[in-house]
Amino acid sequence: MILNPSQKRGLVGAAILAAVLIAIGLIVTYFGSRYQLRLVYSAFVNLLVVLAMQVFMGNARLTNLSHSAFMGIGAYVAAICVTPVTVKAISLPDAPWGLNTFSLDPVSSAVLAIVITAVLALIIGLFVVRLTGSGVTIFSLAVLVIVHSVFLYRTDIFKGNQAFFGIPQVFSLTSIVVLSVIVVFLVRLFRESRWGIQLRACADDEVGAAAMGVNIRRLRLIAWVLSAVLLAVAGIAYAFFLGTISARPFYFNHVFLTLAMLILGGMRTVTGAVLGTLLISFGLECVRWLETGPVLLGVDLPEVLGLSGIALGVVIVLTMALRPGGIMGDYEIEDFLLKGQE
Amino acid sequence: MLDLNGITKTFGGIHAVEDVTMSVASGEVRGLIGPNGAGKTTLVNLISGLLAHSAGNLSLDGEPLDRLRAHQRAALGVARTFQNLRVFPSLSVAQNIDVARYSGRGSAMVDAAIAEFGLSDKLNQSAGSLAYGQLRRLEIVRALALNPRVLMLDEPAAGMNEQETDALGRSLSWVRSHSDCAILVIDHDLKFIMSLCDRITVLNMGTVIAEGAPKDITKNQEVIDAYLGEADERAA
Ligand SMILES: Nc1ncnc2c1ncn2[C@@H]1O[C@H](COP(=O)(O)OP(=O)(O)OP(=O)(O)O)[C@@H](O)[C@H]1O
Ligand SMILES: [Mg+2]
């Protein structure tokens, strides 16, 4: 595979981001507490989600609110496949289609989860690419609600808001760091690929792009499906570490959290996606600590519940008002190092 | 080469283009002139597939284009620029050109065209940062990257001073000597059109009122009444 000049440049940027992620992984592995390790693991899961969102939202510049649903589909399919029959006999006694009569190895489970998510995304995507602007936003919101309702009410398969337990712990912090590094490279190479460049051309000027031979719907479908595949990967990573999942983490709160991450960092660049995720993950921990009413510099602060929700809302509002392109705007990290060079 | 047969477009009650029949041969430079609102841009939109015609048919080398969408026509070599520029501001100059190169039929002349149109040292700049004249030239190079069989230029000299217009004319002669595509040029600068074109088609109120060599067009009474007279007044 031959890389174009933008992609070669992108490799530099991706390598810098990868180095940061690996550094975080190493520090937490050697110096972190068990609690911190879990915290950082979920930050990495969210990083995978935000990178996946960047593929569609950043390149096509359309708003998708159904991403957490696709993550949930990936997580549930993998969980149902990988959980041992003995556990499923207890947790899913009434499961249809013999779902509680088999169990697969982790790799097959993950592959199946990705394939099923991709097929669903392809079918839904055929409708999405016929819409523009706010049409995409509203449609994707409906997809989120529908998928969540299925998770909630098909308790015989998904257990709804109860915990779906007994998923073997396949992943470690190391696995997700490696996965994140791969996905950072993948997403960056996609952004600079022929498809990524043509998608961004469509976002700049749809009419101009069509006149230059760009098949807008086809490209948006490719980005949509790739995004869903990466979301499934995030869901699988989530299920394979935590051991239990439920419908709630794949709904509004998570959509809003990851959206804030992408918007703060800047959805147009991969650097923005990574930066936003790191900042908000860290910032939220500080906010959660404030919520408990700690003693700060001798001042006993009051307990403020709901502060994290307010903080996220404020982040979105302030970013949209002051810097609509997010912190990074159109800049990738290597732009500061390789100014003007090819 | 490019054949239009009875092409018609109505917007509500307005006949923007009415029963236009014309052919442009490969290697020919054809001027398309007419007063404001004559339907010139609409005709280009119909040929490039951004608008669907209400009646008639059009073909390229005998291959019907009527049912093809804009991006399919572009991939076959129907290229154009826009009267109101449509570059991709968030992409670099090189990427703007690549967008077309990726979907086109492959062209060996793009790199030479980049140099000819003075964009060699701008390739890594964001297209949003270019000056107006450079944007106009970028649109032409981008269209050339499709390796066009038909190249349609909608007022390429608009907003340019005399020197820039002369330079553009020379660059377009260069294109003509390096490609055998049919070129359709719209402009209100008659000196520019007359010196560049082999033949000229005059549109007025959506219909073709004259077609011929530049020197015949300037003598045509109907053209003088509809357009040239007006142009003279403007010049005065
Ligand atoms: N999308 C549209 N909807 C409705 N009417 C249109 C549309 N596009 C063009 N028209 C009308 O069609 C007619 C022809 O317009 P067109 O832009 O083709 O003229 P033109 O010859 O390019 O003029 P100019 O020299 O000013 O560029 C005008 O009356 C215009 O108002
Ligand atoms: Mg016009």
* Closest Cβ–Cβ partner in B89, B94, B124 for A204: B89
Total domains, chain B: 1
ipTM above 0.95, yes or no: no
Residue A188 has pLDDT above 90, yes or no: yes
Domain residues for the domain of A183 are 5-249
What is the model's pLDDT at position B236? 43
Asked if A206 has any chain B CB less than 8 Å from its own CB, the reply is no
C-alpha distances in angstroms, A341 versus A186, A223, A296, A336, B127?
A: 23, 29, 48, 11, 16
Q: Could you tell me if residue A76 is inside a domain? A: yes
Q: Give the model confidence (pLDDT) of A297-325 as tens digits.
A: 666 655 565 777 888 888 889 999 999 99
CATH code for position B82: 3.40.50.300
> Ligand 1 in contact with B14 (CB < 6 A)?
yes
Question: Hey, of A191, A200, A206, A212, which one would you mutate to test binding to chain B, going by the most B CBs within 10 A of its CB?
Answer: A212
Q: Show which residues on chain B lie within 8 Å of chain A, measured between beta carbons.
A: 48-50, 69-72, 74-75, 79-80, 82, 86-92, 94-96, 98-100, 102-104, 123-124, 126, 142-143, 146
Q: In this structure, how many other beta carbons lie within 10 angstroms of the beta carbon of residue B40?
A: 27
Minimum Cα–Cα distance from A325: chain B residue: B90
Q: What is the mean pLDDT of chain A?
A: 89
Count interface pairs A-B at CB distance under 8 A. 86
- What is chain B's pLDDT, residue by residue, as a tens digit (236 residues)? 899 999 999 998 889 999 999 999 999 999 999 999 999 999 999 999 999 999 999 999 999 999 999 999 999 999 999 999 999 999 999 999 999 999 877 777 899 999 999 999 999 999 999 999 899 999 999 999 999 999 999 999 988 888 999 999 999 999 999 998 999 999 999 889 999 999 999 999 999 998 988 888 888 777 787 777 665 555 44
Q: How far is the CA of B188 from the centre of ligand 2 (A)?
A: 10
Total domains, chain A: 1
Are B1 and B149 spatial neighbours (Cβ–Cβ below 8 Å)?
Answer: yes
> Ligand 1 in contact with B47 (CB < 6 A)?
no
Q: Could you tell me if residue A257 is inside a domain? A: no
The helix (run of H) or strand (run of E) holding residue B219 is: helix B214-219
Q: Could you tell me if residue A33 is inside a domain? A: yes
Q: What is the arrangement of strands in the sheet containing B14-24, beginning at the earlier edge strand?
A: B14-24, B2-11, B55-60, B63-64
- The model's confidence at residue A161, banded by pLDDT at 50, 70 and 90, is confident
> Ligand 1 in contact with B169 (CB < 6 A)?
no
Asked if A200 has any chain B CB less than 8 Å from its own CB, the reply is yes
> Which chain A residues touch B88 with a CB distance below 8 Å?
200-201, 204-205, 208-209
Minimum Cα–Cα distance from B143: chain A residue: A212
> Ligand 1 in contact with B126 (CB < 6 A)?
no
Question: What's the gap in Å between the CA of B136 and the closest CA on chain A?
Answer: 13
Judge: B102–A211 Cβ closer than 8 Å, yes or no.
no
Mutation to probe ligand 1, out of B7, B14, B32, B230 (largest number of atoms < 8 A from CB): B14
> Which chain B residues touch A201 with a CB distance below 8 Å?
88, 91, 95-96, 99
Q: What is the average per-residue pLDDT within A98-123?
A: 91
Question: Hey, of B65, B76, B81, B99, which one would you mutate to test binding to chain A, going by the most A CBs within 10 A of its CB?
Answer: B99
Q: Which atom of ligand 1 is nearest to the CA of B34?
A: 21
Q: How far is the CA of A123 from the centre of ligand 2 (A)?
A: 41
C-alpha distances in angstroms, A194 versus A9, A17, A199, A322?
A: 14, 22, 9, 32
How far is Cα A88 from Cα A91, in angstroms, rounded to an integer? 5
Q: Give the model confidence (pLDDT) of A10-57 as tens digits.
A: 999 999 999 999 999 999 988 988 888 888 999 999 999 999 999 999
Question: What's the gap in Å between the CA of B81 and the closest CA on chain A?
Answer: 9
Asked if A216 has any chain B CB less than 8 Å from its own CB, the reply is yes
> Ligand 1 in contact with B39 (CB < 6 A)?
yes
Q: Could you tell me if residue A84 is inside a domain? A: yes
Domain residues for the domain of B12 are 2-235
- The model's confidence at residue A287, banded by pLDDT at 50, 70 and 90, is confident
Judge: A214–B99 Cβ closer than 8 Å, yes or no.
yes
Q: Could you tell me if residue A264 is inside a domain? A: no
Find the range with the poorest average confidence among A85-89, A140-144, A231-235, B142-146.
A85-89
* Closest Cβ–Cβ partner in A5, A194, A204 for B90: A204
> Ligand 1 in contact with B38 (CB < 6 A)?
yes
- How far does CA B18 lie from the centroid of its chain? 19
Ligand 1, atom 16, lies closest to the CA of B39
How far is Cα B91 from Cα B98, in angstroms, rounded to an integer? 10
Ligand 1, atom 8, lies closest to the CA of B42
Q: Could you tell me if residue A240 is inside a domain? A: yes
Residues present in chain A in total: 342
